[in-house]
Chains A and B, each alone.
Chain A
Amino acid sequence: MIQVVLDSLVRASELSLLAVGLTLVYSVLRFPNFAHVEFATIGAYVALFLSSGLGFNMVIASIIAMVVAGGLGIGCDRAIFARLRRSTPIMLMITSFALGIAMREAVRMFGGPSPYFYELGLQRPWEVLGGRLTPVQAGIIAVACVSMLAFHLLLNRTKLGTAMRATADNQQLAEANGIYTERVIQVVWFIGCAFAALGGILIALDTQLQPNMGFAIIIPVFAAAILGGIGQPYGAMLGAVILGFAENVGLSIDWGALLSHTGLVSAQYVYIPTGYKAGIAFAILILVLLVRPRGLLGAKAR
């Protein structure tokens, strides 16, 4: 049981960084950026190149990778999305899909199709309350918590954070109050993509690097962001935690025993096959969209 909780926390940490970045970009630009998860892939590969290729320390490599991804995000905005501010969300979605494919295939071209690992050496897991947690996984949870806290302080305690919230709330009103919204949008791209890169590095630390690693988690990330109410950073964190637990708890529940209490079925040892793990996120996504499209913390439509 503890093991399930630990696995869920690791997953939630990875998802939260990506979901917060996605929701942040949505909050100011009003379109779901399909290319967002590719910044995770690029960040992970840049960190690999710096650490394994050039011999940088993993922490320094990660920070540089975040800056590179953030800069790339700003570059994509300047080159592409800034010219499409007046386009429909659908056109922006297609554009981001096209950009995402170009980015993913560029990674495949330079990195090759085979998977890589960070050179971490053998990890001896710790015993935590009867469950197993490797030091890397503990680090993943810690990094995600620190990032979320830093983001919270940025959003609420700084002038920049106020400007970001104002721009997300009402761009014209923010401009009327002397906020240079185009600059805020650039900052949002930088933070969103840097967070995505960090999320990608954490996922790669936990599993492996491959060109599809970003696109493989696009649905859980979207599900987390929409579940919390897209455009709501705290909602995205909550959504990531719920998704992380739903995926792991959903697989470990004996649905037969659970449902036999209702008297409708009498069976035991009915588990969701692990092949359907990804389906849990899909099902949550569709269910949320059907029942509460604003999400858990979503504001009422104006």
Chain B
Amino acid sequence: MIDFIVYLLTMIAIWGILSLSLNFQYGGTGLANFGHVAFFMLGAYISTILVMLAGLPIPLAFVGGIATAALFGILMALPTANLQQDYWAISTLAAAEIVRLIFLNQSLKGPYVGAQFGVGGIPRPLRELFSVETYGYFYLTLVLVCLGISFAIIIWLTRMPFGRALKAMREGDEVPLALGKNVRSLRIRAMALGGALGGAAGSLFAHYNAFIAPDYFLPLETFLVWAMVILGGAGNYLGALLGTVVVQSIYNSTRFLDDLLPIDASLIGPLRMIFIGLLIILVILYRPDGILPERRRRYEA
């Protein structure tokens, strides 16, 4: 049981970084990114490739994964200027699927590594310093530190003029343009930053799970991150973390619901997704600002 809780907390922390980064893009900037899983996937794969094929040490590979994801964020941001919000959202979904298709078709080393077989045996950082039991605690501490750093960076940025300009852009381009802000460059920077955080989460996941496969990075994962952000409250970073706790708990609940519920184990998998789907619909219908709505500053008229 304690092992499961440590595992669940680690997953919550990793996905917490993801939902912070989507919240920064959507809640903080108004960029409806439906291909968010691409950052996660690039962070995971590039970091793995750099360690296992290029032989780089894990910290350097971690940075490489972050940099690649950030670059991809810039690439995704380029067409925003000419596209309506909903069209851009569809294009991001397609972009993420193209990346997944490449990893699905490209074998990495020999015939059974990469492609649809996935990559196994990904080295875990400082594994030899800990026993099997204590390593879980070490990794949990590591991801919590990363989550804390991400949270601090985002809160710091949103309080800077940069973050306020992003927030103004969310409500429409007119105000930032009138203030002489370069909205294109602001969007590119927001996507790069969100991409970097998503890449960090992906790298942390790959080196924790020690196995990655293209099936881990379906559009479904993007939806889960969206569910976390919408549930918690778009624009509110504590809300995004709360949403992560709720969604990840439901998502991982199969392990113990198996023993508690008198239904067939194969039904619990679909049931939890139906539950998450309906939960999001209900939240949008009855509490569209989420559990913790964003606190908007009021000004005297």
Q: Tell me the A residues contacting B by CB distance below 8 Å.
A: 31-32, 80, 83-84, 87, 89-91, 93-95, 97-102, 104-106, 108-109, 112-113, 215, 219, 222-223, 226, 273, 275-276, 278-279, 282-283, 285-286, 289-290, 293
Contact = CB atoms under 8 A, between A and B. Distances in A.
A226 B91 CA distance: 11
Interface centre among A222, A279, A283 (most CB of B within 10 A): A279
Nearest to A283: B98
Nearest to B88: A289
B90 A95 contact: no
B101 A105 contact: no
A276 B99 CA distance: 11
Contacts of B83: 289, 293
Interface stretch (B36-44, B142-150, B266-274): B266-274
B280 A90 contact: no
B185 interface: no
Given A106-B270, A278-B101, A293 B84 contact: yes
Contact of A80 (B85, B266, B285): B285
Contacts of B88: 289
Given A90-B85, A97-B226, A222-B90, A84 B285 contact: yes
A109 B270 contact: yes
B120 interface: no
Contacts, number: 117
Interface in B244-301: 266-267, 269-271, 273-274, 276-278, 280-281, 284-285, 288
A97 B276 CA distance: 11
Given A80-B285, A275-B105, A286-B91, A31 B86 contact: yes
A99 B105 contact: no
A269 to B, nearest CB: 18
Interface of B: 26, 32, 34, 79, 82-91, 93-95, 97-98, 101, 104-105, 219-220, 223, 226-227, 230, 266-267, 269-271, 273-274, 276-278, 280-281, 284-285, 288
Nearest to B116: A275
A84 B84 CA distance: 20
A75 to B, nearest CB: 13
Contacts of B267: 109
Given A94-B280, A293-B83, A293-B87, A279 B270 contact: no
B79 A94 contact: no
A37 to B, nearest CB: 12
A226 B79 contact: no
Nearest to B280: A98
B101 A91 contact: no
A90 B30 CA distance: 10
A289 B285 contact: no
Nearest to A222: B90
A286 B95 contact: yes
A289 B90 contact: yes
Given A102-B274, A283-B98, 9 more contacts: A80-B281, A89-B85, A93-B32, A105-B277, A219-B93, A223-B94, A275-B105, A278-B97, A282-B95
Contacts of A89: 85-86
Q: Which of A83, A102, A215, A222 has the most CB of B within 10 A?
A: A102
- Would you list the 3 A-B pairs with minimal beta carbon distance, nearest first? A102-B277, A105-B270, A275-B105
Nearest to A76: B281
A90 B89 contact: yes
A272 to B, nearest CB: 10
A84 B226 contact: no
A137 B85 CA distance: 38
Given A32-B86, A89-B86, A282-B97, A101 B220 contact: yes
A289 B78 CA distance: 12
A93 B87 CA distance: 11
Contacts of B85: 89-90
A275 B104 CA distance: 8
Contacts of A32: 86, 89-90
A289 B79 CA distance: 9
Contact of A99 (B101, B281, B288): B281
Given A90-B86, A106-B270, A98 B281 contact: yes
A108 to B, nearest CB: 5
A273 B115 CA distance: 13
B78 to A, nearest CB: 9
A108 B274 CA distance: 10
Contact of B276 (A101, A278, A279, A282): A101
B271 A109 contact: yes
Contacts of B82: 290, 293
A101 B104 contact: no
Contact of B280 (A87, A95, A276, A285): A95
| Best-buried of B82, B83, B105, B274 by chain A (most CB within 10 Å) | B274
A87 B288 contact: yes
A108 B270 contact: yes
Contacts of A285: 90-91, 94
A105 to B, nearest CB: 4
18 contacts: A83-B285, A94-B230, A94-B284, A98-B284, A102-B273, A102-B277, A102-B278, A112-B266, A275-B104, A275-B105, A279-B98, A279-B101, A282-B97, A282-B101, A285-B91, A289-B88, A289-B91, A293-B84
A276 to B, nearest CB: 6
Contacts of B91: 285-286, 289-290
Contacts of A282: 94-95, 97-98, 101
A221 to B, nearest CB: 11
